[in-house]
Each structure stands twice: as C-alpha cells, then as structure tokens.
Amino acid sequence: MSRIGKKVILIPEKTEASFVSGVFSAKGPLGTLTKDFKSDIGIKIDGKEITLEPKNITLENKALWGTYASHIKNMLNGVNTSYVKKLILEGIGYKSEVKGTNLVLALGFSHPVVVPIPEGLKVTADKNIITVTGANKEMVGEFAANVRALKKPEPYKGKGMRYEGEHIKRKQGKKTA
C-alpha cells in the first residue's frame, strides 16, 4: 500500500482544483496546470481535501497511487510558487545568453548551441548562472537536465555545466616526474 497515496492532500488558499473525466486541473495565482490521469485511481475532491484510492488493487495500481498523489501535490504547489533550477556554467570562454525565445550557449564548440525555450518556462542568464523557473515541476527539471546534458562537468578541471549545490568529484591529473 502506498504511504504517500493514503495521505489527504490539502488544497491551498487561492487555488482551485477540479477533476472531470480523467483530467485534473489546478488553477492558482501563477496559472493553470492540467494533466490526464488513468481511471484506475479514483480522485475525489471534497471541499479543500483531495483523496486518492485505487479502484482495483494490482501491482501497477499500487505504483500509480503514490505517483498520482505526488503529481497532484506538485501541480498544486506549482500554481502557487514557481519551481526554480539554477545551472552554473564554468570554463574559460563558456557563455550563455537569452535571445528571444532561445537560449544561446557558447560551450567551446565551433558553433553556438541554440536551445529553444518551451512555453511556460522563464529562463534568465546572468553572467554564468542560468535560472529556469516555471509552474510545472516536470518541465523545469526536464529543460534543466537537457541543457546540462549539452556540456556535463568533467572531473579534472570542473569545466562544464552543473546544478547549483551539486558537488563534482574531482580527479587528480597526470603527475610529472
């Protein structure tokens, strides 16, 4: 049984939640988020409380029970406070800037790398810190991970892109005789 799924989810103030024919939507000060859910898990909204319960107890439904509860909590939090991911770009000649709806990166390649910014996300680039903010936790994390994957930090000099607070395990280089 899911410990996360059994807990009652409270709807914050200034937030509206609705579940109609498999589509859950949360509306708050920062916008509206919607997500489709399978009908295997029953979602009930009573006033300011949301409860989830599987219709059949199978192995797949036990896994989905807690997952759906986490998705709903993230949606309710996202429409009230933005999710933020910060990436730090380290290395000589590495630059980042936002041009219109694109993030343009100079990562030591012979060409600039252009990454389109998805709708619903706000990206800023100050010096060598890229900040990704948005209401949808999945989109923020996925975009930050895709940008980081363009130039992962290397273990010898630490050059590349890393998350704020991420520690890169450094290796010792060649020793000279």
Residue 177 has pLDDT above 70, yes or no: no
Alpha-carbon span 53 to 2, nearest angstrom: 10
Look at residue 136 in the predicted model and tell me its pLDDT. 92
Which domains are delineated in the chain? 3-78 (3.90.930.12), 83-163 (3.90.930.12)
Strand pairing partners for 67?
none
Could you tell me how many helices (H) and strands (E) the chain has, helices first? 3, 13
Cβ neighbours around 175 below 10 Å, total: 5
Beta bridge partners of 126: 129
Give me the amino acid identity at 146.
Answer: N
Mean pLDDT, range 78-103, rounded to an integer: 92
State how far the Cα of 88 lies from the Cα of 164, in Å rounded to an integer. Answer: 6
pLDDT digits (tens, 9 = 90+) for 16-47: 998 888 899 999 998 899 999 888 888 888 88
Looking at residue 1, its pLDDT comes to 61
Q: 71 or 177, which is more confident?
A: 71
Mean pLDDT, the chain, rounded, equals 90
For the sheet with 49-54, list strands across it.
Answer: 9-10, 49-54, 41-46
Residue identified by tokens 């996202």 is 78
Q: Measure Cα distances from 154 to 58, 143, 158, 162 in Å.
A: 44, 20, 5, 10
User: Exposed/middle/buried for 140, CB within 10 Å: 0-12, 13-18, 19+?
Assistant: buried
pTM exceeding the 0.95 threshold for the entire prediction:
no
- In the chain, alpha helices (H): 3-6, 59-78, 137-149
From residue 67, alpha-carbon distances to 51, 52, 168, 171 in Å are 13, 11, 30, 38
Write down the pLDDT at residue 75.
Answer: 92
